[in-house]
Structures are given as C-alpha cells and as structure tokens.
Amino acid sequence: MNLPRHALRLVLREPRRSLAALVGVAIASTLITSVLLFGAASSSTVTRRALADLPVDAQVVLGQGADPAAARAILTADPAVRNVTGFDLAHFNSAATDKAGTATQTSVGVLLGLDSSFSSATGLFGLSSGSVTPGAIAISRDLASNLGAVPGDTVAFQLPGGGSVSLPVSGIVSIVGADLILGPIDAAHRAVGANPPVNVAVMSQTDLESLVLSKIPADAVATDPATAGGTPSGVNTPVFAPDPAVRRELHVQLDHAQLPGDPVAAQTWLDTVRRRVERQGAGTITWVDDAAASLEPLAKDLAWGQILFIFLALPGILLALALSRLAADATADATRRHAALLRARGATRRQLGSVFMGATIVTALIGSLLGVVLGVGIGFTLFGADLASAGAPGAVLRGGVIAIVLTTVLASLAAILPLRAQLSEEIAAGRQELQRGGVPLWQRLYLDVVTLIVGAVVYVVAGGSGIHPVLNAEGNPTVTLALTSFVAPLFFWVGGTALLLRVVTAGLQRTGRLSLVLGRILGPGGELAGRSVTARAAAASRAIVVLALAVGFATSVLVFDATYRQQQVVDAQLTLGADLKATPLAATPASAAANLAGAGIAGVTPFVDRVVYVGPEAQDLLAIDASTLASVAPLSDSFFVDSTASAAMAALQSSPDAILVSAETAKDYSIVAGDHIRIRVPDASGILKTVDFTMAGIALEFPTAPKDAFLVANQAYVVAQTGNDRISFVLARADGNVGTASANLARRLGSGWQIADLGTTSARLANSITSVDLSSLVLLDVGFAVLIAGVGVALFLLAGLAERRREFATLIAIGAEPRQVRASMVGEALFIGAAGVSQGLIAGGLVGLALLQILAGIFDPPADSPAIPLALIGVMTVIVGLSLAGALALADRGLSRLSVVAALRER
C-alpha cells in the first residue's frame, strides 16, 4: 500500500474534512506570524525612538597627543558615519564677575569649544540671546543667574592648575538636552548619576584652544562638584579616578538608516563600527558609545516584550489549535467513511493510522503555510512601516519558520487523540455499542483544582515578595519582569480551562430543565435542542469551553490593554509631574506661578528641583507647595509608606522643616520618622549650604521624582534657608483637553517659558517597552478571538449537522417544519453562546486581574486597580454574537441542502 499517495488522496478526496482541519492551523499560524512580526516592528519602533533623542551617537575622546585632523579623517572616511563635529571641554574651578565694585562668584563649571557647525548639527547650545563672537563667550542661564551676568560683562574663570582667564560675555546659551555630553564620560561616574555642570560657557573651538587650553597644565584634573562646597567631617566621598581638566572630543552622528531595528543587532552593529574606528585610531582615540548605552537596557526590555506579546497571544494560538479537535468532531463521518473504504481495500490498523497521520501532517503544513502568508499580509498592513526598518525579510523568515514548525507539530499532536478515537469507533461501528468514556485521569486527580491553587499561591507569593519593583539605579524606566510574573496567569489559564471543562460537562449531564426552558423560548425545536445538547454533552462542553476561552482571552487582553494605557498615562503624569509643565527660561520666583492661571488651567503649583547632597550622595530635593500640589499633580496613597497622600501633605504643612525621604534613602541611612537630617543645598550662587530637616515620612514615588533616591520638602522653608527663590518649573492641571491647554498656555506665556504636556512626554518615554503601542496587538488578539469563537461554534454546529443528519431527516419526515428544525439548531447555538460568553467574561476578568502582575513589572508604580473597558468588552461581545449568527447561517445552509431521502437511507 502506497501510504503517502493514500494520505494525499485523503486530503484531496475529503475536502470538507481537510478544510475544517486546516482552518484552526491556519488561524494559529497567522496569529503566531503576525505577533512575531509585531514584536519585530515594536523592536524597531523602540530602537528608533530611543536613539531619536540622542544629540550624538558617540563621543570620540582624543588621547593626549592625538592629532584631531587625523582622527577626524578616520571618522569621516567610515561608511557608517554621517557627521563629525569638534567639541572641546575645559573644567573651571570657579567663575566670578566684578560689577561696580561688587564681586560675585560661583562654583565649578565647564568652558566649551565648539565647531561652528556643532549647534546646527546636534540641536544643542542654541543661543537665547546675543551671539558667540570671536574672543567672547555665550554663557548658560544658570551661570548668568549665579553671577548676575549679562552680555557685555566680563567673567573671570579660575582654571585647574592655577591659571585664569577673563572673557567677555556676548550671549546667553541654552544647555537643555546636553546633560549626557557635559557629564563625566567614565562609566563609574555615570553609574551613580553624577550631575552634569550647569555653569557652562560656550566659545569657538579655536578660541578655547588659544585662550584657555594653553593655560591648563596637561596633568591638571577637574574638581569634584560633590566636594566643591566642602565635605562634612565623618562623611566619606566615593572614590573615582579624577576627571581630566581638559577633554578633546569629536562627536559622531551615525547613519541611522544603516542601523538594524532589533536593539541587539543594533548594538552589534554599533560595536562593529566602534572596533573599526578604534582599530584605525590605534590607541589615540576612545569611542564612548552613547547610542549603545541607550540601547543596552532595551535589549532586555524587548526580550521581555517579545515574551509578553507571545504570552498575550498564547491562549489564542492554543485555542486555534484546539479547533482541530472540533474540526475532527465535525468531520468524523468523513474520517469513518474513508477509513472503512481503506479497510475494505485491506489496510491494516497500522497502515490506517499512518495514512491518516500523513494526511494530518500534510493538512497542518498547508494550513501553517497559508497562515504565514496571511500573517505576513496582516503584519505589513498593520505595521508595515516599522517592519520595513526592522529588517522585514529576516523578521518574516524567522516568524514564518517558527510558525510553520510550531503549528505543524502542535496541530499534528492535537489531531492524534480524536483520530485514534474515530478509527477505533470505525472498527467497533458494526457492533453499535454505546461508547461510554471513563472519567479522564486529570479529573480523577483533580489536576485542574491543583493547578489553580498553585497559580494562586504563585500569584500571592510573587506579588507580595517584592520581586518586581527594584528599578535600575539611574532611575531609567526599564522592565523588571520575572518569569514568575507569567506563571500565575498561565496556571490560571490552564487550571481554569480544565475546571471549566469539568463544570460544564457535569452541568450538561444534569440539564433536565434545559429543554423545558429552550422549549418555552423556541417551541418544539428548542425542546429538541435541549435534548440534543444533553445527549452530546462532551462535544457541547468542548464548544462551550472553546467559546468561553475565546471570549475570556479577548476580555483579558482588553482589560490588560486598558490598564496598560492607564498606566502609560500615570507614567507620563509621574514623569512630567502633572498635565502640563511650564519651565521658565530665566530666573523666576514662585510668585510667577500665578501668571499661569487662566482659561483652560484648573490649578497651578510652583515646583523647585535642586540637586542636593545627603552625605556624599547627590539626590533630587523636590521643594513643593504642599497646600496646592495635591490639586494639580497625581498623588496616590500607594506613593507613601504607612500613610496617605493627604496625611503626607498635611505632615509637610504642619512643620516647615518636615521632609519626606525616598524608601532607598531611608534604608541607606537608617532614617525613621522624627530623625533630624542635615542636607547640603545650593544657595543662589550655587554654593552648598547645610540645612536641617526633620524626617516626616517615606515616599515610594512622587511626581517628577527619579525612581530611586529623592527628598520632598516645603518650598517656603528651602527658600528661606538658602535665599534662593528661583523655581525650577510650574506644574499645571488642564481644565479639559491637555493639548489645547498646552497650546493656549504657550501662546499666553510667550517665548520666556518652555511648555511640556502629557502627549509629548508619553512620546518621549521611549526607552522601554512601555512606549510600544499595543493597539495593533490587541486588534490582532481580539480579532482572532472573535474569529476562533465563530469558527468554534460553526464547527460544533456542523459537527452536530453531520452527526444528526438522520435525526434531522427523521424530524423533517415526520412533519417538522423548516423553522422548527432551524429552531433546534438555534437553540443549541443560543445555549452554547450564552454559556460560553458568560463564562468567558468571568474568566477573562479574572485572568485580566492576574495579568496585572505582569504590568507591575513594566510600570512603576504598579496599577492600583485594573481598568475595565466596558464599552469595548460590550462591542466585542456583540461581534462574537454576530460571528455566532454567521456560524448559524453556515450550518443552516448545510441543513437546507440536506437530502432527506438520502439521509434516511444511511445506516
């Protein structure tokens, strides 16, 4: 017997059977392919967004004695390099002005020598006023404020090594966005979040070389800002290699079009470029890879992202494969017929099995190939642009191969059980025995209940053990998921499915009143439907469970997505501080906050953010107006340990020197409520001044605060103690549309203020998977869930039609009207639909809650409660209802084609 030929013949000669088996595999394969392509596209999105904000991709530091022209030639010649600009930096120990006999001095800072094209190439150091004339400098707003200097004044700089230089001021320059290139370039300094200088003076590169660099000895080192104001006795300062007084750099911008979309591949590409350049520079240059540093946390984040995307789609994939089981039920008649034919031709049981398995594998292969084609089509339709930059051919090839292998193997395995049963039935068919299956092993062992209990234990233990919330020291938003985050939802899915199957099957065997109820609704046809559902309890419970899981899958994804979006807004609000943030471009006192009040603004509060020192450690001190903050910024009770938001604000208001410290600070310094804390805070001139505070509580989060160490104190007290009344920014709450309020505020305040709003902040939170828009994935998952629900019920009804051909024919023969026969099918669909959808909504809601544990590892702070998108769930339910109606119409079409006389002849 030629088994492959017979297998192929089975596929071709039983097209109904092949098509039914193919549908589930194709859906699973489409889902896998499109989800993998979504992952690839989102990698590209995140990578691109992460690099978009970088002014330069690499800082190439020239070693002592290196020839800048030779280094520039090497860089310019590299095919990956788009632009090279010169950048020299010289530290100064102090700067001073002497106006009308009054001397004003400030602490450390930097003098920069820039290529003439630097600003236009990088967008940094734009002039707010004046210009950079030869032999003169443009100074930062902070330096101008600290010295009270204006264009036309002269500033005297004390340089490392004892030299000095006096330079006239010709303009004011913005240093916004320049933190990375102004800060230290060694990893150790960057790791502790050393603050970049704010006292900055910019001049041409040739002027810096001739007027400044010549006065600094080659071995001079920069003064550490942490010790610039003096170190209290008994406090240890961290030990770093001192920063050289002069850094000569070439800043490189790469051709991002050549950059792979995948962050790991992008890092490899960047590494290749770095090695290539450093090899040619032969020890004279050091490549500081800002781009690679930005991508570093992304690789891990996106790996988790991929797991998350697949995990979210996993129930859909498995459900689609489970359709194979329903397909086998729906086409059992064809299987038995063909098996009988082969048997008549002398096929042994083993040969029979081989032919049918061969046909199953062929069908699965065709289905998975079809799914890959559909998946690629969907992928390019939904996220084609991102996919193209992610390296579409590679992503398609990877996704396609994974989908084909996975679905072919799983679909073949899924088909074995029903096939074995059907072939056994074929053999036993002549005896007309009533098949009574025993209780499955998993039910006897109560594995469903055990799995749910394990899931609950994992949920409680993992959720309460603090596995997730420790973020990296820099406070960058990175993902801190652990595999345990996925365990609880997975166990809930598996255990819930099994329990649902147990309950539904048991329930269907005891539905004495079902035919009565359906009979009242649909007449005699409904009565028969009730009987039929009870008689086909196993098949009906499979259909109900598939429908319930499909609806549950869609519901849980919708709940997850709604909560994800809610947390994106919370994330943006926490980062920005409120709906709107207005930053003055010149020194502004707190009283100026009142100027922001007006149409479209519901409330304002002035905010001060100073870098202060707790011992040797730099931290952010947030000086706030506790009486107005709560009405403007999002304050949740979960931000505070053993307290509430209102109690924490009341504690600040009741005592001027009260201070809230971050959990990390409280732990590091063993501080408890009531302890006195001595902190060095910069005064108006930047000199650190010691101020005493009293610990009033612990805050885990605070608007605008970094993720790790911060302090919150009363603004009025800080101003009074330091004499520095300059606010950092004003937070505002919009009254209505945030974008409109932002535009109105920007127009009203003019060019003296910089306005940021939630929309721009959300877009800027790019270096994490939180920036990924899940809407395409949700559309995919929910769309496929609805499709699976419809196909599942259609297969059940078609299986019923196949099984009950003679029954329907008999009914028609003894006088059942067409509407009565149809009512019988409608009754079944109605019951299956109602039972499946209602249980699915409950299961989906519960699994959605379990999925919040995953969000706890993505968003910090975690969600207090899930967002339930009732309208979307309602729409989804209606669409599922429509797909059931479609399935019913399909089955009704089959019924109307039933040849009664032929069916009555069948034995």
Partner 1 sequence: MNVITGRGLCRRYVQSGLDPVVAVADVDLTVEAGTVVAIEGPSGSGKTTLLGLLAGLEVPDGGTLEVMGLELSRLSRTERARLRQARIGIVFQSFGLLASLTAGENVALPLALAAVPPRDREFRARLALEEVGLGAAYGARIDELSGGERQRVGVARALINEPALILADEPTGSLDEENAGDVLALLTDAVRRRGASLVLVTHDPASAARADHHYLMRDGRLSLGVPA
Residue 531 near partner 1 by CB under 8 A: yes
Neighbour tally for 343: CB within 10 Å? 16
Task: Report if residue 556 touches partner 1, rule: CB under 8 A.
Answer: no
Per the omega criterion (within 30 degrees of 0), is the bond before 134 cis?
A: no
Q: Which is nearer to partner 1, 325 or 536 (by Cβ)? A: 536
Q: How far is the CB of 810 from partner 1 (least distance, A)?
A: 4
Distance CA 195, CA 190 (A): 9
Choose which of 77, 103, 188, 904 interacts with partner 1 (CB under 8 A). 904
Instruction: Choose one: 6-14, 456-464, 784-792, 805-813; the region binding partner 1 (CB under 8 A).
Output: 805-813
Q: Which is nearer to partner 1, 189 or 531 (CB)?
A: 531
Which residue stretch of 192-200, 320-328, 521-529, 704-712 sits at the interface with partner 1 (rule: CB under 8 A)?
521-529
Question: Which residue's CB is nearer to partner 1, number 316 or number 519?
Answer: 519
Q: Taking contact as CB under 8 A, which single stretch among the options 350-358, 766-774, 834-842, 899-907 is the one that binds partner 1?
A: 899-907
CB of 806 to partner 1, least distance (A): 7
Angstrom distance (rounded) from CA 192 to CA 395? 37
Rule CB under 8 A: choose which of 811, 826, 851, 852 binds partner 1. 811
- Which of residues 503 and 900 has its CB atom nearest to partner 1 in the complex? 900
Nearest to 623 by CA among 691, 669, 707, 700: 691
Least distance (Å) between residue 815 CB and partner 1: 3
Q: Does 814 bind partner 1 (CB under 8 A)?
A: yes
How far is the C-alpha of 751 from the C-alpha of 386, rounded, in Å? 35
Task: Kindly state whether residue 535 participates in binding partner 1, applying the rule CB under 8 A.
Answer: yes
806 binds partner 1 (CB under 8 A): yes
Q: Whose Cβ is closer to partner 1: residue 565's or residue 806's? A: 806
Per the CB < 8 A criterion, the answer to whether 548 and 839 are in contact is: yes
Its sign, for the CA torsion 357, 358, 361, 362, is: negative
Does residue 812 touch partner 1 according to CB under 8 A? yes
Tell me whether residue 65 or residue 815 sits nearer to partner 1 (CB atom).
Answer: 815
Q: Which residues pair with 730 in a beta bridge?
A: 582, 606
Collapsed DSSP state (helix, strand, coil) of residue 76: helix
Rounded distance between C-alpha atoms, residue 377 and residue 394, angstroms: 15
Instruction: State the minimum distance, in angstroms, from the CB of residue 507 to partner 1.
Output: 17
95 phi and psi angles, rounded to 5 deg? -135, 145
Calculate the dihedral angle through the C-alpha atoms of 851, 852, 854, 858, rounding to the nearest 10 degrees: 140
Choice from 255, 664, 735, 807 touching partner 1 (CB under 8 A): 807
SS3 617: strand
Output 142 or 803, the one with its CB closest to partner 1.
Answer: 803
Could you tell me what percentage of the chain is helix, strand and coil, using 3-state DSSP and rounding each to the nearest 5?
60, 15, 25
438 vs 815 by CB, closer to partner 1: 815
Residue whose C-alpha is closest to residue 107's, from 240, 232, 225, 237: 225
Contact call for residue 12 and partner 1 (CB under 8 A): no
Closest separation between CB of residue 534 and partner 1, Å?
7
**Nearer to partner 1 among residue 184 and residue 519 (C-beta):** 519
Decide: is 900 part of the binding site for partner 1 (CB under 8 A).
yes
Please identify, using beta-carbon distances, which residue of 350 and 907 lies nearer to partner 1. 907
> Rounded to an integer, what distance in angstroms lies between the CA atom of residue 403 and that of residue 666?
50
**Does position 524 bind partner 1 by CB under 8 A?**
yes
User: 63 CB contacts (<8 Å, ≥6 apart)?
Assistant: 283, 284, 285, 286
Is 810 or 838 the residue whose CB approaches partner 1 more closely? 810
Q: Nearest CA to 246 among 291, 216, 207? A: 216
- In the complex with partner 1, which residue's Cβ is closer, 631 or 899? 899
Cα 690 → chain centroid:
42
Question: Segment 817-856, which members bind partner 1 (CB under 8 A)?
Answer: 817-820
CB of 25 to partner 1, least distance (A): 30
Segment interacting with partner 1, rule: CB under 8 A, options 162-170, 529-537, 574-582, 684-692 = 529-537
- Identify which of residues 773 and 807 has a Cβ nearer to partner 1 in the complex: 807
527: contact with partner 1 by CB under 8 A = yes
Tell me the sheet residues that pair with 249.
61, 87
Residue 569: CB minimum distance to partner 1, A: 54
897 binds partner 1 (CB under 8 A): no
Exposed / middle / buried, residue 299 (Cβ in 10 Å: 0-12, 13-18, 19+): middle
Output Rg (C-alpha) for the chain, integer angstroms.
Answer: 35
Residue 187 is a binding residue for partner 1 (CB under 8 A): no
Given the DSSP bridges, would you call strands 285-288 and 164-173 parallel, antiparallel or unpaired? unpaired
Tokens representing residue 92 in the block:
């100064």
Q: List binders of partner 1 among 425-444 (CB under 8 A).
A: 434
Q: What is the dihedral of CA 176, 177, 178, 181, to 10 degrees?
A: 170
Among positions 523, 598, 866, 886, the unique one binding partner 1 when judged by CB under 8 A: 523
Question: What's the DSSP call for residue 474?
Answer: T
- The correct pick among 56, 332, 816, 852 for binding partner 1 (CB under 8 A) is 816
Separation between Cα atoms, residue 108 and residue 205, nearest integer Å: 20
CA distance 888 to 534: 19
- Reduced to 3 states (helix: H, G, I; strand: E, B; else coil), residue 104 is strand
Which residue, 662 or 820, has its beta carbon nearer to partner 1?
A: 820
**Applying CB under 8 A, which of residues 133, 354, 534, 636 lies at the interface with partner 1?**
534
Distance (Å, whole) CA 476 – CA 479: 9
Question: For partner 1, which is the closer residue by CB, 440 or 818?
Answer: 818
Tracing tokens 């721009």 back to the chain, one arrives at 760
Q: Of the ranges 268-276, 326-334, 336-344, 896-904, which one interacts with partner 1 (CB under 8 A)?
A: 896-904
> Interacting stretch for partner 1, rule CB under 8 A, among 279-287, 627-635, 728-736, 802-810?
802-810
- Is 163 a binding residue for partner 1 by CB under 8 A? The answer is no
* Among candidate residues 323, 346, 300, 488, the one with its CA nearest the CA of residue 418: 323
- Tell me whether residue 580 or residue 809 sits nearer to partner 1 (CB atom): 809
Do 423 and 368 meet the contact criterion of CB atoms below 8 Å apart? no
Q: Is 685 helix (H, G, I), strand (E, B) or coil?
A: coil
Angle made by CA atoms 470, 476, 477, in degrees to the nearest 5: 75
Q: Which stretch binds partner 1 (CB under 8 A): 203-211, 523-531, 554-562, 673-681?
A: 523-531
Q: Which is nearer to partner 1, 485 or 820 (CB)?
A: 820
Which of 206, 354, 728, 810 contacts partner 1 by CB under 8 A?
A: 810
Q: Look-up: residue for tokens 């974008």?
A: 739
- Regarding 512 and contact with partner 1 (CB under 8 A), the answer is no
The span of 162-170, 328-336, 749-757, 811-819 binding partner 1 (CB under 8 A) equals: 811-819
Give whichever of 187 and 434 is closer to partner 1, judged by the CB atom.
434
Stretch of 174-182, 463-471, 526-534, 701-709 contacting partner 1, by CB under 8 A: 526-534
Which amino acid, 737?
N
Bridge pairing between strands 617-624 and 710-714: parallel
Helical H segments across 470-536, by residue range: 484-508, 514-522, 524-535
Structure tokens at 479: 């993902």
Q: How far is the CB of 834 from partner 1 (least distance, A)?
A: 20
By CB under 8 A, tell whether 727 contacts partner 1: no
Count of residues that bind partner 1 according to CB under 8 A: 27
Q: Report the alpha-carbon distance of residue 113 to residue 86 in Å, rounded.
A: 8
- Which region among 248-256, 488-496, 522-530, 594-602 touches partner 1 (by CB under 8 A)? 522-530
* Residues binding partner 1 (CB under 8 A): 434, 523-524, 527-528, 531-532, 534-535, 806-807, 810-820, 900-901, 904-905, 907
